[in-house]
Chain A
């Protein structure tokens, strides 16, 4: 190749290299900026709204796709030496000298005029500085990229409004693992369809607790709903027992309460349409013998037997334990964070195993049994001092009161316990130790647990 040709090729190849490097960097940086923008928007949204999938995997995918798209676009945008020569001719006013020379170089036999053209082009190629056409190898977008990445990292570390503390997150995952294991250990071949379905649901919930970034409220709600479904089936098993033998007025009353509770719970359980219908007929027929027979027959068809009840008890116990664990850890975390975000009333209600406002049939039965007993007269029974530790900020410190292992009834009468707690709450409210936004919750709580026959507005007079 002639010297002129070498000059032309070297100049245009150098320009093409610089332009292609610039092009790839530009395409990649623009694509990455788009990706960072989308990721930043997603992270910002996640600070206010829970996103039900793992955020970091989404962000990583977005950035990965952006990078790949940028590389592909950069490769596709590469120019050849000829195209670089055309661009140089256009931008530097070489009047197509370089591009014509590039084409001539491809010819095997060149005329004398063509050789002259090469020489002429070489003179211009010597004066070609790639920086005149491509001043920057690193586009501006590439320089902005680190700043954008820093912004993204900053957004990531901003606490979210509904942030789940790390220890609560761990507790939820641990509970999820235990629940999933417990549900997996249940032999579903021995169970009725409904209970087997519930076991599968329990396993699914256990998995979701581990996999999805749920808040503690969502986790507790899922577990509460699961517990309620288990109680429903458990109740159905017990109703089957209650329906056996003579129907006494007391039994009828208890049965009525159980059936009323069951009617509400059955709304959310699948595959119970026939049973719900029989239940409604039994209630409408005022628990007539025929209606109860039909109900019993419906229960028999569902085949919820002893093994089902046992399995339900085991699963319920595991779920209840899980709720207690989450509640304990979250309360401890909330105390440490000194935050008013702990929704004590709801969590306490959920931890207790009940959906807000609802009590389980078991509790109702126990309450009913307690109510039927007479309290020991003053002086008899066992008096004990009940002290309630209170923190500096006026909050009651959760305290375990060990029961007397040999007795079957509480050491301290319920009414006394209630009164002392009520007085402490009244004192705390009047001394503005409880934030105003939570006073209504505290009031509702004490209203819900007050003994029958006593009513008092916190801060008001006792009325009996």
Chain B
């Protein structure tokens, strides 16, 4: 496939008009991918857009949902629409790291001559679906997570670079806790977004049945290729961020920490650890995608508020009281957004009164 990143350097010299065209194309392409995926995936538009936003923000996604809600199909459809190589790894307790990253095997290159040859594992794909990642042992999980972070794999002293774009979607089953190894908090932090896949609505279920129980099963067509995906990734990072908007994101992240004075009462009561700086990065990157989709070249407060939930819900560690009372991190995030936004509007809300 080659490395699609090489041509990105040429984009630096683009004029504003060219950038404007690329932005318009970005919006169009995004919508086309969503619509194309919509031919296969019924509903779940928020999840689809969240996955795509994460892809273009160069992050990885943690999907949480009950079995049978179409998580695997969603990811596979996305890889079809983006013409990206796809692999699915079903995590089981007996899965070994070599089963993910690959291993050296002995092959006979010439008569009488044997050598080691690296056999790539399923991780060597553009889109990797790590299904039920919490069922594998921590050792196996760390092999995946290391690859997610470094975009490389090291085997027997040799480092192998993963193809770009490299995008991992991991899933967790929220109801099966026996025999599972929940991802540690430090590892959860590596996922840019955590998206919740919910049950389809009644009418959506009807459509699902129509599509999946007939002879003709819809498939998504190719809309974008890897090169275009890389271009879109680069474009997103060009979106401007005003300092007071960035400060707003910082204040939100600080408010998740119970030891800070920005934290509301609910955080002080139920949260043990707040978000790391990765949370702020996730918010800004996700907000940049939202801004471009909204035909803007700058981030607004509403962009930040739209991506705050997927960016922070897996980065707040509840204390025992929070877990015992079944507090949803989304509730806490909602309170934080209201508090910080009210404080922001009070700063200049008086103008003209």
Are the CB atoms of B352 and A135 closer together than 8 Å?
Answer: yes
- The chain A residue with its CB closest to the CB of B23 is A116
Complex: how many Å from CA A115 to CA B16?
6
CB within 8 Å of B: which A75-113 residues: 77, 79, 83-84, 86-87, 89-91, 95-97, 99-104, 111-113
Complex: how many Å from CA A312 to CA B203?
114
- The chain A residue with its CB closest to the CB of B243 is A103
Contacts of B348 in A (CB 8 A): 79, 83-84, 86-87, 90
Are the CB atoms of B351 and A100 closer together than 8 Å?
Answer: no
Contacts of A97 in B (CB 8 A): 296, 298, 300
Are the CB atoms of B352 and A100 closer together than 8 Å?
Answer: no
Is chain A's binding surface mostly helix, strand, loop or mixed? helix
A325 at the interface (CB under 8 A from B): no
Total count of chain A residues near the partner, CB < 8 A: 34
A19 at the interface (CB under 8 A from B): yes
Are the CB atoms of B16 and A116 closer together than 8 Å?
Answer: yes
Q: A25 to nearest B CB, angstroms?
A: 12
Residue B352 contacts which of A89, A116, A133 (CB distance < 8 angstroms)?
A133
Are the CB atoms of A100 and B298 closer together than 8 Å?
Answer: yes
B338 at the interface (CB under 8 A from A): no
CB within 8 Å of A: which B317-353 residues: 345, 347-352
Are the CB atoms of A134 and B352 closer together than 8 Å?
Answer: yes
Q: B284 to nearest A CB, angstroms?
A: 13
Are the CB atoms of A79 and B298 closer together than 8 Å?
Answer: no
CB within 8 Å of A: which B215-261 residues: 238-245
Q: B10 to nearest A CB, angstroms?
A: 13
B181 at the interface (CB under 8 A from A): no
B28 at the interface (CB under 8 A from A): no
Complex: how many Å from CA A79 to CA B349?
11
B185 at the interface (CB under 8 A from A): no
Contacts of B352 in A (CB 8 A): 19, 22, 87, 91, 133-135
Are the CB atoms of A96 and B245 closer together than 8 Å?
Answer: yes
B116 at the interface (CB under 8 A from A): no
B19 at the interface (CB under 8 A from A): yes
Assuming the contacts A97-B296, A117-B240, asked whether A134 and B351 have C-beta atoms less than 8 A apart, the reply is yes
Are the CB atoms of A113 and B19 closer together than 8 Å?
Answer: yes
B54 at the interface (CB under 8 A from A): no
Are the CB atoms of B23 and A87 closer together than 8 Å?
Answer: no
B147 at the interface (CB under 8 A from A): no
Q: A118 to nearest B CB, angstroms?
A: 9
Are the CB atoms of A104 and B16 closer together than 8 Å?
Answer: no
- The chain A residue with its CB closest to the CB of B235 is A113
CB within 8 Å of B: which A377-424 residues: none
Complex: how many Å from CA A447 to CA B241?
98
- The chain A residue with its CB closest to the CB of B18 is A112
Are the CB atoms of A114 and B351 closer together than 8 Å?
Answer: no
Q: A35 to nearest B CB, angstroms?
A: 22
Q: B262 to nearest A CB, angstroms?
A: 19
Contacts of B242 in A (CB 8 A): 96, 99-100, 102-103
A119 at the interface (CB under 8 A from B): yes
- The chain B residue with its CB closest to the CB of A16 is B351
Are the CB atoms of B240 and A83 closer together than 8 Å?
Answer: no
Contacts of B243 in A (CB 8 A): 103
Assuming the contacts A100-B240, A111-B238, A135-B352, asked whether A95 and B294 have C-beta atoms less than 8 A apart, the reply is yes
Contacts of B239 in A (CB 8 A): 113
Contacts of A121 in B (CB 8 A): 298
CB within 8 Å of A: which B109-165 residues: none
Are the CB atoms of B245 and A100 closer together than 8 Å?
Answer: yes
Interface centre among B238, B244, B350, B352 (most CB of A within 10 A): B352
Complex: how many Å from CA A96 to CA B241?
10
Q: B296 to nearest A CB, angstroms?
A: 6
Assuming the contacts A96-B245, A112-B16, asked whether A117 and B351 have C-beta atoms less than 8 A apart, the reply is no
B204 at the interface (CB under 8 A from A): no
Q: A40 to nearest B CB, angstroms?
A: 26
Are the CB atoms of A90 and B15 closer together than 8 Å?
Answer: no
B273 at the interface (CB under 8 A from A): no
Are the CB atoms of B240 and A114 closer together than 8 Å?
Answer: yes
Residues of B within 8 A of A (CB): 14-16, 18-20, 23, 238-245, 294, 296-302, 345, 347-352
A95-B300, A99-B245 known; 8 new pairs, CB 8 Å cut-off, are: A23-B351, A95-B298, A96-B245, A96-B299, A103-B240, A112-B238, A113-B240, A133-B351
What are 9 residue pairs bridging A and B, where the CB atoms are less than 8 Å apart in the complex?
A23-B351, A79-B348, A86-B244, A95-B302, A96-B298, A96-B301, A99-B242, A99-B244, A116-B20
